């Protein structure tokens, strides 16, 4: 089964830290959606339930007003995230010229968020919020001295966590050990670097292959990452339970930029070295995904489309497509590519 990730046009990852930063990101997004729904309401009424459109406009106005205030609580912020997720998808479908039904009942008694039709193709869309608490991009910088590891010509992503601020001889000794590790390590390997009192001062973890020719050093978010992967898988299972049989179903999960990698791991599986496959030309090791992903093997083969969408103005969805390379795409998959890629 082939997996294709189709990148969106804006791949910048906005930095988010405190809750106030998230509010400042949601505010311009909801304001832009508010303008779009008001400007396009007349055109969209013929292709969408007018009552739902009016409700969306009221909710957008209320959410924008609350986000401008100083006393917004976490529940209101949570509702704003949910509203932004639903309306991002609705606006994309309507702007693409689709006729859209809202909350379509399934035989199991559940509902599809949107069923979109265009040019004879039908696509069912399930909109989910990323698990809470939202996994944000950490305001963590990698010290300049450690960036020296990025001169090593190996295509690997290595996560660095620092428990202590090393200086002078201890720093040089740690870097020597780190260089020796990075030059021979494989995906999944870890190294703990200790200070003179044998306390762990730094930790290196090889988390994935890189598309870059040299080492890529990133801040280690392993605790949050490892917690969020199973939460994302639970979100995917909930969406799968709402699938409309004999239709092409797309799961769209919306959250912060910091959730993209955890979502991809939940969907595709953990990064591993594959000894049963030939490496790409010029490489010694073949990398792939393990069997712990939502799409692993032939599991849930009714699910072939998924997307992650960062809740920030100007960002588009990242579309994942699961289908054999030899199989001609269905009209619904072509529609999904045209709208969400």
CA distance 21 to 299: 38
The pLDDT, as a whole number, for residue 188 is: 84
Peptide bond connecting 133 to the previous residue in cis, omega within 30 degrees of 0: yes
- What is the strand order of the sheet 305-310 is part of? 3-6, 317-322, 305-310, 248-255, 121-129, 111-118, 99-105
Phi, psi angles (nearest 5°) of residue 162: -120, 120
The pLDDT value recorded for residue 11 is 36
| Residue (of 211, 208, 210, 256) closest to 232 by Cα position | 256
Neighbour tally for 163: CB within 10 Å: 14
Query: What is the model's pLDDT at position 222?
Result: 56
Q: Taking the CB of residue 205, how many other CB atoms lie within 10 A of it? A: 19
Distance CA 335, CA 341 (A): 10
What is the rounded distance in angstroms from the CA atom of residue 325 to the CA atom of residue 341?
Answer: 18
Number of H helices, E strands in the chain: 7, 13
Which residue's entry shows tokens 């704003």?
80
Give residues with Cβ within 8 angstroms of 56, minimum separation 6.
37, 87, 90
Residue 249, class by beta-carbon neighbours within 10 Å (0-12 exposed, 13-18 middle, 19+ buried)?
A: buried
Give the residue among 271, 135, 141 at the shortest CA–CA distance from 217.
141
> For residues 251 and 243, what is the distance between their CA atoms, to the nearest angstrom?
9
Q: Dmax over Cα atoms in the chain, in whole Å?
A: 72
**Per-10-residue mean pLDDT, the chain, length 341:** 50 40 84 96 94 96 86 81 96 98 96 97 96 56 89 92 84 94 91 83 87 86 66 95 96 89 88 54 54 84 94 93 76 95 88
Q: Is 285 exposed, middle or buried (0-12, 13-18, 19+ CB in 10 A)?
A: middle
pLDDT at 197 (0 to 100): 77
Q: How far apart are CA 165 and CA 178, in angstroms?
A: 15
- Report pLDDT for 116: 98
CB neighbour list of residue 197: distance below 8 Å, 6 or more residues apart: none
- CA angle 8–259–137, rounded 5-degree value: 100
Query: CA 115 to CA 169: how far, in whole Å?
Result: 63
pLDDT value at position 224? 54
Q: Which two tokens stand for residue 160?
A: 């660095």
Give pLDDT, residue 306: 97
Question: Which pLDDT score is estimated for 145?
Answer: 92
Which H or E run contains 101?
strand 99-105
Query: 92, 339 in Cβ contact below 8 A?
Result: yes
């Amino acid at each position: 089964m082939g997996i294709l990730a189709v990148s969106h046009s804006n791949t910048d990852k906005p930095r988010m830290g405190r809750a106030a930063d998230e509010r400042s990101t949601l505010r311009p997004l909801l304001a832009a959606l508010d303008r779009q729904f008001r400007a396009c309401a007349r055109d969209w009424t013929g292709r969408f339930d007018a009552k739902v459109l009016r409700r969306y406009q009221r909710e957008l106005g209320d959410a924008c007003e609350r986000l401008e205030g100083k006393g917004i609580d976490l529940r209101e912020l949570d509702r704003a995230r949910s509203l932004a997720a639903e309306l991002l998808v609705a606006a994309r479908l309507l702007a693409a010229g689709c006729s859209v039904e809202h909350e379509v009942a399934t035989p199991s008694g559940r509902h599809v968020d949107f069923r979109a039709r265009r040019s004879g193709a039908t696509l069912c869309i399930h909109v989910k919020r990323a698990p809470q608490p939202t996994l944000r991009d950490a305001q963590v910088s990698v010290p300049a001295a450690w960036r020296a590891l990025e001169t090593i010509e190996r295509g690997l992503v290595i996560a660095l966590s620092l428990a202590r601020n090393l200086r002078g001889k201890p720093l040089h000794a740690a870097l020597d050990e780190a260089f020796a590790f990075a030059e021979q390590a494989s995906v999944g390997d870890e190294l703990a670097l200790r200070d003179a009192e044998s306390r762990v001062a730094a930790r290196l973890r090889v988390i994935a292959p890189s598309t870059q020719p040299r080492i890529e050093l990133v801040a280690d978010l392993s605790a949050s990452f490892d917690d969020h992967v199973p939460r994302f898988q639970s979100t995917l299972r909930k969406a799968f339970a709402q699938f409309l049989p004999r239709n092409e179903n797309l799961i769209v999960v919306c959250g912060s930029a910091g959730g993209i990698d955890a979502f991809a791991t939940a969907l595709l599986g953990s990064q591993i070295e594959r000894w049963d496959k030939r490496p790409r030309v010029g490489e010694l090791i073949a990398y792939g995904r393990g069997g712990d992903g939502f799409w692993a093997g032939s599991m849930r083969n009714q699910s072939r489309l998924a997307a992650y969408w960062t809740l920030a103005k100007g960002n588009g969805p990242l579309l994942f497509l699961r289908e054999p390379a030899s199989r001609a795409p269905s009209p619904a998959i072509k529609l999904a590519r045209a709208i969400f890629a």
